[in-house]
Amino acid sequence: MESPRNETTISVPPGAGCPWHQINWTSAQLWQEVAIAVLAVIVLRSTFISFFEVYRKNQRHGQIRAWPLVGSTLTVTANMNGLHDRFAKWQEENDVVWMTYPFGLDAVYIADPSTTEYILKTNFPNYPKGDEVQVRMREFLGHGIFASDGQEWKDTRKMASFQFSSVVLRDFSADVFKDGAILLARMVSQFAQSKTPIDMQNLFMRLTLDTTCKVGLGIELGCLSPSLPEVPFATHFDLANELSFVRYLDPLWKFKKFFDIGNEKVLRKCVKEVDSFSYNIINKRKIDIEASKKDGSKRPDLLSRFMSAVDNSGEMHSDKVLRDHLVNFIIAGRDTSAVTLSWFTYMICLHPEVAEKIYDELARLEETDNSSQDAKQEDDPFTRFARVLTFYNVAKLSYLHAALTETLRLYPPVHLDAKVAVNDDIFPNGMQVKKGTLVTYNAYAMGRLERNWGPDAKQYKPERWLKDGVFHQESPFKFISFHAGNRQCLGKESAYLQMKMTAAMLIRFFKFELVPGQNIEPRLMFVLTMKEGVKVIATPR
């Protein structure tokens, strides 16, 4: 048969000892076979290197068992139930814990204060968020303060710091927090009268979404309305949070994103709803600000203050920048406080003696304060007590402050925080870290390690924070719940103010008892949300 033009036929002579001698190959087929052979060599070489690398890494002190190509994912997935406690156990057994992400990315988990101080303060420039962290959060958090680095982060933090230092914003926040606490107490009272179980995490999430949107965005969502309405934005926001975190455990997330399938398709839809909510608020606020210019009034909410400010170039902030600020503020102001109050409720149910000590402290405050004398006759008990909860009175509640801080120690809202090493480095303990390594401090483990807190580390003891009845602050690199160093939380005092007002209102009027048979464990998210909430029975005092 005549061969096609521009192609050569290669025949193997008879008797060559190979069955292929009967085959005629074209040059195209030959190159195809060569390509397959080269690819096979590359795959075999990569597999050999992968096995060698995995073997070497598995010999490291503190290494979570790794496998070729998939890294430690299989081991972590096998421990998915109770993963936070499993990681804490690993940290208890080792000074550092190594994890290998799919395709060879190294991650080291630390849980000692000195190394944490080193990466967050001493050598801060070498440990930014980095691309590997930012890319997983980008769709959800954009370029906000939690997902930015370098000059972009500095500019964002500078602007936020200026706004948070405002006395006007502080006083406005205190009023909003107090009104929210009253509304929550009335809601709990309705459940208490009928002895109906209450999911307190649900109520706290509604409360803090309402107050965060009021303080941060200047809007009222009405999440704590008597009917407890569905809040689609909150549902989409929480799911976007969870799916963004799952990217750290899913080696195929980029593949799924490219083809818009699985979790990534759901994440895209959730972010679209979050964006729609955010831009709608921004557009309405522009109209409000223009209207307020006519009468010379200024809105006290954070979004209005951001929209009235300019960036370093003297330009007004774009809608995208405002959107990112808005989303980051919500996750900071809503999720963290609600999560802490949920775990606090769980703790006082397990330790009712703590609730009684807080109640006694509140009773002493009422006895020495005459603010309630200004109460109107028509005020209900909740409103009258709220008059006692001034900014300065709340600061006197040392035992309540200690009880909330002890909750934060054991259940830090931001339980993990990751950085990326820009250059090779050596930690204070002598451990070497290569460029590109993901360095994560494990706040959840740090609060439970005996080497950090002593033999009673796992016990809930508010008294550990008090000396002669006065609250004593530990190093922020040991008590890491509000981050530390250059990235320390700007809203720390605001968060404490709301949590103390809310907890004081509830404990003053109610006792709480856990509904039996619950499975109380964290959900895998950027914040330590309870997987199924915390259900209680409230009894009026």
Instruction: Give the annotated binding-site residues for heme.
Output: 489
What residues contact 337, with CB distance under 8 A and at least 6 apart? 204, 208, 495, 498, 499
Compute the distance between CA of residue 399 and CA of residue 356 in angstroms, rounded to an integer.
Answer: 11
Compute the distance between CA of residue 119 and CA of residue 477 in angstroms, rounded to an integer.
Answer: 10
Distance set, CA 442 to CA 98, 343, 450 (Å): 12, 18, 15
Indicate the pairing of strand 96-100 with strand 106-110.
antiparallel
Annotated binding site: 489
DSSP 8-class letter at 95: S
Q: Which residues pair with 376 in a beta bridge?
A: none
Dihedrals phi, psi of 218, to nearest 5 degrees: 75, 25
Nearest to 302 by CA among 320, 282, 280: 282
Compute the distance between CA of residue 328 and CA of residue 311 in angstroms, rounded to an integer.
Answer: 18
Distance set, CA 215 to CA 31, 163, 524 (Å): 67, 12, 28
Cβ contact 183:326 at 8 Å: no
For 290-316, letters b (16+ CB in 10 Å) and e give eeeeeeeeebbbbbbbbbeeeeeeeee
